């Protein structure tokens, strides 16, 4: 297995808390923070550091050789779960990159389960399909929530089935609580209850099967969000999210990877990010697409930027391009939220669900 870079507990992004939780421990933040202004010199120092430590990605083709992604194996180490948190769900580039990462982790690192946020793979028949081949995956996905109805996810499902045909005694599965009523009732209501359930489902699957899990979902759910606020909302919401709960439970064996982008088009046009957003700096390094370990050695200006209050964009179903700056996650630091980032400068829409 690859070396345990993630488990060393060193670097700017390490040090997740461990220990038991109680229902009263919601992790809500207090007060309002604004992103730190790194200044021109600090921004250039960060850009130089990114260019020095980034691993450029040369393709978005899930079937291509994974040589450009190979450094990720050492970054992941002995993680029980690697979370792929996307800042937008209907992007071709971010979805295809998540597929490539899933293949690398399954084929080379022994991961055997995919926790796919947003719907129930068993409900729509996808779990039965990848296990037995029963059903038409395109028709099954057509009955799922809208952001699952993409050609990129169809390719993932078909690859999972193909893997299982080649490896019938060592299959990959969709992770999820069995449909036997065994799931526990969330101790919270509303968004906090959703986050608790996402984390609990992943925890229970690992406890029941021992599988190493790829958890693919939205960035606001998967980030190590002991302190994070999602905006806009009827009122900005602050509570411990699923990633924060799993980091408390498993420490550095929960690896948080953020899938971010600078600009482009998904179902709507997305402009360049505001200067105070992390993506403005990540995209200013002059690279089209890259993999970056935020725990890499860094000089003081970079460490300060990584540890400063941050904002990162969230492009969801209610995104309004005219109010782009309002759609973000805040209340924490980039190096706390993510161990690793994959940044793509320009994105295009996800492909239609076709045969």
Q: What does 102-118 look like in DSSP terms, one character per residue?
A: HHHHHHHH---EEEETT
Question: What share of the chain has pLDDT > 70, as a percent?
Answer: 84
CB 344 within 8 Å of CB 94 = yes
Of residues 180 and 65, the one with the higher pLDDT is 65
Distance of CA 51 to the CA centre of its chain: 22
Say if residue 49's pLDDT is above 90.
yes
Angle at 154 between CA 272 and CA 159, to 5 degrees: 115
| Of 331, 335, 176, the residue nearest 258 (C-alpha) | 335
Average pLDDT over residues 120-125: 91
Residue 289's pLDDT is what? 98
Average pLDDT over residues 332-343: 97
Angle at 342 between CA 55 and CA 241, to 5 degrees: 145
Encode pLDDT of 289-327 as tens digits: 999 999 999 999 999 999 999 999 999 988 999 999 999
Average pLDDT over residues 137-165: 96
Please report, for residues 5, 100, 174, the alpha-carbon distance to residue 287 in angstroms, rounded to integers and kept in the order given.
24, 19, 34
| Of 156, 242, 164, 165, the residue nearest 204 (C-alpha) | 242
Hey, what's the torsion of the CAs at 223, 82, 94, 313, to 10 degrees? 10
Distance CA 24, CA 18 (A): 16
CB 176 within 8 Å of CB 115 = yes
Distance CA 298, CA 76 (A): 19
Band the pLDDT of 35: cuts 50, 70, 90.
Answer: low
194-203, 205-214, 236-245: least confidently modelled range: 236-245
DSSP 6: G
**Cβ contacts of 66 within 8 Å, gap of 6 or more:** 100, 103, 104, 108
Rounded to 5 degrees, what are φ and ψ at 22?
-125, 155
Residue 1's pLDDT is what? 38
Of residues 355 and 278, the one with the higher pLDDT is 278
Average pLDDT over residues 192-218: 94
Say if residue 34's pLDDT is above 90.
no
């Amino acid at each position: 297995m690859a070396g345990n870079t993630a488990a060393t507990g060193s670097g700017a992004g390490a040090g997740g808390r461990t220990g038991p939780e109680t229902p009263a421990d919601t992790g809500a933040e207090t007060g309002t923070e604004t992103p730190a202004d790194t200044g021109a010199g600090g921004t250039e120092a960060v850009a130089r550091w990114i260019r020095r430590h980034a691993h450029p990605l040369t393709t978005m083709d899930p079937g291509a050789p994974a040589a450009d992604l190979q450094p990720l194996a050492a970054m992941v180490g002995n993680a029980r779960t690697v979370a792929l948190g996307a800042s937008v769900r209907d992007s071709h580039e971010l979805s295809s990159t998540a597929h490539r990462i899933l293949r690398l982790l399954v084929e080379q690192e022994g991961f055997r389960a995919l926790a796919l946020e947003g719907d129930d793979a068993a409900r729509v028949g996808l779990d039965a399909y990848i296990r037995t081949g029963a059903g038409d995956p395109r028709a099954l996905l057509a009955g799922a929530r809208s952001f699952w109805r993409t050609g990129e996810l169809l390719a993932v499902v078909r690859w999972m089935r193909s893997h299982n045909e080649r490896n019938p005694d060592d299959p990959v599965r969709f992770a999820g609580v069995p449909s036997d009523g065994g799931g526990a009732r969330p101790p919270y209501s509303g968004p906090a209850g959703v986050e608790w359930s996402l984390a609990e489902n992943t925890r229970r699957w690992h406890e029941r099967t021992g599988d190493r899990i790829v958890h693919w979902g939205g960035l606001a759910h998967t980030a190590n969000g002991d302190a994070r606020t999602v905006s806009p909302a009827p009122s900005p919401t602050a509570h411990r999210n699923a990633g924060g709960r799993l980091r408390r439970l498993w420490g550095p064996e929960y690896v948080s990877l953020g899938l971010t982008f600078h600009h482009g088009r998904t179902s709507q046009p997305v402009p360049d990010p505001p200067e105070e957003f992390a993506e403005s700096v990540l995209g200013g390094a002059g690279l089209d697409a890259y993999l970056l370990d935020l725990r890499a050695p860094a000089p003081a200006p970079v460490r300060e930027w990584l540890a400063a209050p941050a904002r990162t964009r969230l492009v969801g179903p209610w995104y309004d391009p005219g109010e782009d700056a309002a759609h973000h996650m805040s209340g924490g630091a980039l190096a706390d939220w993510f161990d690793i980032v994959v940044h793509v400068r320009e994105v295009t829409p996800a492909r239609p669900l076709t045969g």
